[in-house]
A and B are shown apart, each in its own frame.
Chain A
Amino acid sequence: VQLVQSGAEVKRPGSSVKVSCEVIGGDFDVFSVSWVRQAPGHGLEWMGGIIPVFKTPHYAQRFQGRLSITADRSTKTAHMELSGLGFDDTALYFCTRARYSGRQIEGDQWGQGTQVSVSS
């Protein structure tokens, strides 16, 4: 299974960015696709996720209102759109895929990461 993310982005403050993540070679519908970012000098931060067959995304509270996560089952691609970008949104953004069956974690693949830079 491979997760292939879209390319690097440079954005202005206040604008939006949309990053895609295509799942190649594995099941898409019942696996959770999450977005995790790492800002320079900071640790991993879980932003939100979606199980495509259920369609309802879940977001970390700090991103509520400016984060949108969607999944297109026909193209096996998940999308993450972050609006109202600030300089502190400069980070490497990862998509991840896993299935949580009780305590078991099945899968746990990661995309290659997409660098988003916010600059004036």
Chain B
Amino acid sequence: IQMTQSPSSLSASVGDRVTISCRASQGIGDYLAWYQHKPGQVPRLLIYAASTLQSGVPSRFSGSGSGTDFTLTIASLQPEDVAIYYCQKYGTVPRTFGPGTRVDLK
């Protein structure tokens, strides 16, 4: 199963709503996680089961989708959200990551 993401990068202003898409080449139910990776840090789990927010993650992050199409939404972009975002399928091995979406400030 291959994972793709779009766009590969985006620039947005503080306060903007940001949407990132992830697509699986075959259905994966809702076994989909989203990670945030900032330079010099380890990746951080934001969302699992497609829409469940990990403890401690700000509520401006949300996820949706099932089957093959998934979305990560940042309701109001903040400066600390600048990072690369990855989706990952985890129901079965291999737990493949998507190629990532870079989010920058405009």
B93 and A110 contacting across the interface, CB-CB below 8 Å: no
A94 B42 Cβ-Cβ under 8 A: yes
Check if A100 is an interface residue, CB within 8 A of chain B: yes
Assess whether A110 is in contact with B43, with CB atoms less than 8 Å apart.
yes
Pick the residue among A45, A58, A103 that contacts B97 (CB under 8 A): A45
Q: By the criterion CB–CB under 8 Å, are B94 and A46 in contact?
A: yes
In angstroms, Cα B93 to Cα A61, docked, is 10
Interface size on B, residues (CB 8 A): 25
Q: Does A75 contact B (CB under 8 A)?
A: no
With contacts A103-B48, A104-B48, A112-B42 known, is A44 near B33, CB below 8 A?
no
Chain A at the B interface: SS class: strand
Q: From A44, A108, A112, name the one whose CB has the most chain B CB atoms within 10 angstroms.
A: A44
Docked complex Cα distance between A74 and B45 (Å): 29
Residue B71 is within 8 A (CB to CB) of chain A in the complex? no
- Residue interface bits A69-113, CB-to-B below 8 A is 1, else 0: 000000000000000000000000010000010011100101111
Residues of chain B contacted by A46 (CB below 8 angstroms) = 88, 94-97
- Residue A52 CB within 8 A of the other chain: no
A49 and B90 in contact, given A103-B48, A112-B42 (Cβ under 8 angstroms): no
Q: Which residues does chain B contribute within 8 Å of A58, judged by CB atoms? A: 93-94
Q: Which of B59-106 contact A (CB under 8 A)?
A: 84, 86, 88, 90, 93-100
**A-to-B contact residues, CB < 8 Å:** 34, 36, 43-46, 48-49, 58-61, 94, 100, 103-105, 108, 110-113
Please give the residue numbers on chain B whose beta carbons come within 8 Å of chain A beta carbons, in ascending order.
Answer: 29-31, 33, 35, 37, 42-43, 45, 48-49, 52, 54, 84, 86, 88, 90, 93-100
